[in-house]
Amino acid sequence: MKKVLIFAFLGLTLNVLAQDTYTLSPESTLKIDGSSTIHDWTVTANTLAGSLKATTATLNEISFEVPVENIQSERGAAMDKKMHEALKKDEYPKVIFSLKDVSNLGAENQTLSGTLNIAGVEKEVEIETKVEQTDSKLKLSGAKALKLADFNMEPPTAMFGSIVVGEDITVNFDLSFIKE
């Protein structure tokens, strides 16, 4: 009888600790907002890749990548080229985030701590994130303010330096992960 109870307890414990794996869905969006000496601008990451592992409402693992070549502006090829040069696309073709820790567990608003790699520079960041979970989806949304200089990026210029991109940008994300 004791053996049956031990196996039943172990089975329940393992079931509770089981992780679910999620894959980023195509409905996910990531936009970067910034300014310049003449206008505000937005660029869109048209390709995103990522996965996460979670137990119940606890995020355990996130890997997220954005191919630089697919970050594009509404202002055309000239701006895209300058932006890709600033992001050092040829040397570092992806922007990468890797989760290290989560705080405010179980709360709707959580703080994701991890490593963000942009243009070959890795920085530890904390990102305030709204986490919503349904049966088959985990949705992460929020915004993160960054400075180009923190990633050794030169603000792009145009018109012989008369137009200069501002130092501050904001990354807005609305990521939807689907249970595999």
Tell me: the pLDDT tens digits for 86-105? 999 999 999 999 999 999 86
**What's the chain look like in SS3?**
CHHHHHHHHHHHHHHHHCCEEEEECCCCEEEEEEEECCCEEEEEECCCEEEEEEECCEEEEEEEEEEHHHEEECCCHHHHHHHHHHCCCCCCCEEEEEEEEEECCCCCEEEEEEEEEECCEEEEEEEEEEEEECCCEEEEEEEEEEEHHHHCCCCCEECCCCEEECCEEEEEEEEEEEEC
For residue 37, pLDDT beyond 80: no
Domains and CATH numbers, the chain: 19-179 (2.40.128.110)
The per-residue pLDDT for 106 is 65
Confidence of residue 9 (pLDDT cuts 50, 70, 90): very low
The per-residue pLDDT for 161 is 63
